[in-house]
């Protein structure tokens, strides 16, 4: 019999197998399967918008999960973001795809590559469109999925970077991969953005804007967003557009009306709009004397660092290379960092993101 009826669980199992993942005892759709499904979809659909990827994966998984469609959509959306941070997907702005005369922001699948980690293992990135992996079976069976990340550990006396280079994978230097904006104080960043905002022409009417309220508690990110009423001042904001995702920016409001709007990302920069906005909000919070917070939780190998607001991509990449993503506990993002890296990473958080340590969980 060539056509076989199978159960929903068998579909999930078959998908895991086709994506080169190890079988699980329960046929649940875990984060590793979601990440692999998105990589596959990206290999087919990119360049495209993140929502196209989410839609494609959600459609293929319909009737295969028990949670609501909305919950699954949020999970897929979060995984797409995680793959952008992990370097499998590239969100590029000011790039030409189908129309040579039009530039836009698109998600691309990154070419297969790797980043060497300090401990000797390597972080695999990128997508080979028609293949589960560009690696031969002897290496692929050794790949360990750490959440959304794929890690390969060298065997004794094995020069893994050299082998991967021979296979044609692009070696991405740590400095290039972790490249962040220039180091400056929170005040300098805040002031420079204010200057740019002031230089903008009047925005005209901008409807349905939402602002990040700096007066609200810094450890509840979702709760900081609201629609303006009568306030005046400068706010990190998002404005809708006729089609596509809401745009990030910095808005000047007078009596609740937008008078100027600086769109993110800034022209000719590599950072995403959201990364610029999140970084600016950190500067704003620090400038106001209410810095954003992180929590340090001891674990056997070092500590887990919990964050309550999103971190820019370049900061998350650093944490992912030095540590690994950890299950979240009453926070937005969590990374497990080995003991030897903790001091330098906490200094990084203080100096680059102006975060303060929260002493104990609430």
**C-beta of 84 vs 353, nearer to other proteins:** 84
Q: How far apart are the C-alpha atoms of 111 and 301, rounded to whole Å?
A: 32
Sign of CA dihedral 23, 28, 32, 36: positive
12 belongs to the binding site for other proteins (CB under 8 A):
yes
Select from 156, 204, 267, 289 the one that contacts other proteins (CB under 8 A): 267
- The distance of closest approach from Cβ of residue 169 to other proteins in the complex, given in angstroms and rounded to an integer, is 7
Site for other proteins in 70-109 (CB under 8 A): 87, 90, 92-100, 102-103, 106, 108-109
Site membership for other proteins, residue 41 (CB under 8 A): yes
Which position has the token pair 């893994």? 160
Q: Does 57 bind other proteins (CB under 8 A)?
A: yes
Nearer to other proteins, 229 or 242 (CB): 242
Smallest separation (angstroms) from other proteins to the CB of 156: 16
Question: How far apart, in whole angstroms, are the C-alpha atoms of residue 73 and residue 87?
Answer: 21
Q: How far apart are CA 124 and CA 267, in angstroms?
A: 30
Subset of 115-174 contacting other proteins (CB under 8 A): 125-126, 128-131, 134, 136-138, 163, 166-170, 172-173
The answer for residues whose C-beta is within 8 angstroms of residue 28's C-beta and 6 or more apart is 12
Contact status: 360 vs other proteins (CB under 8 A): no
Q: Which stretch binds other proteins (CB under 8 A): 42-50, 208-216, 291-299, 321-329?
A: 42-50
**Closest distance to other proteins from the beta carbon of 168 (Å):** 2
The answer to the question of residue 272 lying near other proteins (CB under 8 A) is no
Lookup: tokens for 347: 């200094």
Report yes or no: 194 and 234 within 8 Å, Cβ to Cβ: yes
Cα(15)–Cα(206) distance, integer angstroms: 45
Binding segment toward other proteins, per CB under 8 A, in 53-61, 190-198, 229-237, 333-341: 53-61
Please state the closest distance from residue 210 (CB atom) to other proteins, in A: 20
CA distance 5 to 212: 51
What value does the CA radius of gyration of the chain take, rounded to a whole number of Å? Answer: 22
Find the part of the chain contacting other proteins (CB under 8 A) among 146-154, 181-189, 221-229, 267-275: 267-275
Please select the residue that binds other proteins; options are 21, 34, 35, 56, rule is CB under 8 A. Answer: 56
Provide the angle, in degrees to the nearest 10, between the axes of the packed helices 31-45 and 8-18.
70
Minimum CB separation from other proteins for residue 29, in Å?
10
In the chain the first and final C-alpha atoms are separated, in Å, by 59
- Check residue 11 for interaction with other proteins (CB under 8 A): yes
φ, ψ dihedrals at 310, nearest 5°:
-65, 150
Instruction: Report if residue 205 touches other proteins, rule: CB under 8 A.
Output: no
Nearer to other proteins, 170 or 356 (CB): 170
What angle in degrees, to the nearest 10, is found between the helix axes of 273-287 and 186-199? 120
């Amino acid at each position: 019999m060539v056509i076989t009826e199978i159960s929903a669980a068998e579909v999930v199992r078959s998908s895991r197998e086709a994506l080169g993942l190890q079988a699980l005892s329960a046929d649940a759709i875990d984060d590793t399967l979601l990440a692999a499904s998105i990589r596959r979809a990206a290999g087919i659909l990119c360049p495209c918008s993140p929502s196209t990827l989410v839609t494609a994966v959600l459609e293929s998984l319909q009737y295969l999960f028990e949670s609501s469609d909305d919950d699954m959509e949020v999970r897929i959306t979060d995984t797409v973001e995680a793959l952008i941070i992990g370097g499998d997907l590239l969100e590029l702005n000011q790039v030409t795809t189908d129309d040579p005369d039009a530039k836009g922001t698109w998600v691309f699948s990154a070419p297969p590559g790797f980043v060497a980690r300090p401990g000797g293992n390597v972080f695999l990135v990128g997508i080979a469109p028609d293949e589960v992996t560009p690696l031969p079976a002897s290496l692929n069976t050794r790949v360990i999925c750490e959440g959304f990340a794929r890690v390969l550990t060298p065997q004794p006396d094995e020069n893994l970077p050299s082998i991967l280079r021979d296979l044609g994978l692009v070696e991405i230097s740590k400095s290039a991969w972790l490249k962040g904006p220039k180091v400056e104080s929170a005040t300098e960043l805040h002031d420079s953005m204010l200057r740019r905002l002031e230089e903008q022409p009047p925005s005209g009417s901008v409807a349905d804007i939402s602002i990040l309220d700096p007066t609200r508690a810094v450890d509840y990110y979702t709760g900081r967003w609201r629609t303006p009423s009568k306030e005046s001042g400068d706010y990190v904001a998002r404005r809708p557009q006729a089609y596509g995702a809401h745009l990030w920016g910095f808005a000047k409001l007078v009596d609740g009306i937008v008078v100027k709007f600086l769109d993110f990302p800034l022209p000719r920069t590599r950072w995403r709009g959201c990364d610029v906005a999140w970084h600016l909000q950190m500067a704003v919070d620090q400038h106001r004397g209410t810095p954003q917070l992180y929590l340090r939780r001891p674990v056997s190998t070092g500590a887990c660092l919990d964050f309550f607001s999103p971190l820019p991509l370049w900061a998350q990449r650093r944490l992912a290379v030095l540590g690994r993503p950890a299950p979240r506990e009453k926070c937005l993002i969590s990374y497990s960092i080995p003991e030897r890296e903790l001091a330098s990473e906490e200094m990084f958080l203080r100096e680059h993101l102006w975060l303060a340590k929260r002493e104990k969980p609430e």
